[in-house]
Amino acid sequence: MKPLEELTRKNIWNLAPYSSARNEYAGREAHVFLDANENPYNAPYNRYPDPLQLELKDVLSKVKGVPAENIFLGNGSDEPIDLVYRCFCNPGKDNVVAIEPTYGMYKVCADINDIEYRPVMLDEQFQITADRLLAATDAHTKLIWICSPNNPTGNHLVREEIAKVIESFEGLVIVDEAYSDFSTQQTFRSEILKRPNLIVLNTMSKAWGCAAIRLGMAFASQKIISIFNKVKYPYNVNLLTQKQALEALKDPFEVDKWVKILLEERSRMMEAFKLLPICEKVYPTDANFFLAKMTDAPKIYNYLVDQGIIVRNRHRVQLCQNCLRITIGTKTENGELIAALRQYA
């Protein structure tokens, strides 16, 4: 890996971050707060929230098995996705490499930040070799984006190839594990301490059932986390989100139960799809969704919309012609989808 200073934008490396009122007295006991121009009434919403979300990170640390100092929390995963560009990529000069097809936000944030985006096509099995990703890099490549289990294909990428990318690349590798709770694959977040160029993304939006509260996380070396903390908005995770996340984290067994039901339903749905005359192929998946190749995806999609049932049409995505992406819902919702598809003529 190149020295972090060399990978970081010069203006960011030299940045003096905003120092909030709550940062400055740092940790000492206090009970009169006349420092932040807050209204003393309307507790608890009158007070600015903890800018570093320490209580929440403490709990997450136990659940995720990652030290609190190695956790960054953001307004969804969207925030760390945007932050890596803003921290490490010089607009108009640097580039990033990513698997294709994958989650759309990596490219959107590249475009917003004026960073060249270099997609590298997966093969027919939706896999990739480390060598092909590395071949797309040059001296200005700062990041490589990997998503496993991948969206929209659903499958996990071969672990040895991901490891090889991390070991061989001189820049930073981001492994988005938004769907790892649904997969039996070993995660990469346990490896951040021994892999200084690795950033792993997680989210509360999928298995944890909290998409509405917007809480995403990045796991990385303390040095990388401190760069993120310098650049983020001072109060990027609001009090309601921090409270609600703490509430959800009290009951990890509830999440295990949801995941178990969703995986059972996923098997049932995939079997049912295989029997549909309008379904040509069901792809293997490690996530809470699967990809199905249909006879005519756009037409079937519109038919379902007319029935009030929304799935994701991936027909225009490379390698996904005529594919619909089906999220696993409740038993009732899944049953409704299958019943509608059986009626399709």
Ligand X SMILES: *Cc1c(COP(=O)(O)O)cnc(C)c1O
- Sites of contact with ligand X (CB under 6 A): 76-78, 103, 147, 151, 176, 178, 203, 205-206, 211, 216
Cβ neighbours, 10 Å, residue 19? 9
Cβ 155 to ligand X shortest distance, Å: 13
Q: Which is nearer to ligand X, 109 or 147 (CB)?
A: 147
Cβ 33 to ligand X shortest distance, Å: 32
Q: Which is nearer to ligand X, 63 or 135 (CB)?
A: 63
User: 333-344: buried (b, 16+ CB within 10 Å) or exposed (e) per residue?
Assistant: ebebbbebbeeb
Cβ 288 to ligand X shortest distance, Å: 10
Q: How far apart are CA 335 and CA 316, in angstroms?
A: 27
Q: Which is nearer to ligand X, 135 or 212 (CB)?
A: 212
Q: Which is nearer to ligand X, 77 or 322 (CB)?
A: 77
Cβ 178 to ligand X shortest distance, Å: 4
Cβ 93 to ligand X shortest distance, Å: 26
Q: Which is nearer to ligand X, 73 or 272 (CB)?
A: 73
Cβ 165 to ligand X shortest distance, Å: 17
CB 146 within 8 A of CB 157: yes
Q: Which is nearer to ligand X, 211 or 240 (CB)?
A: 211
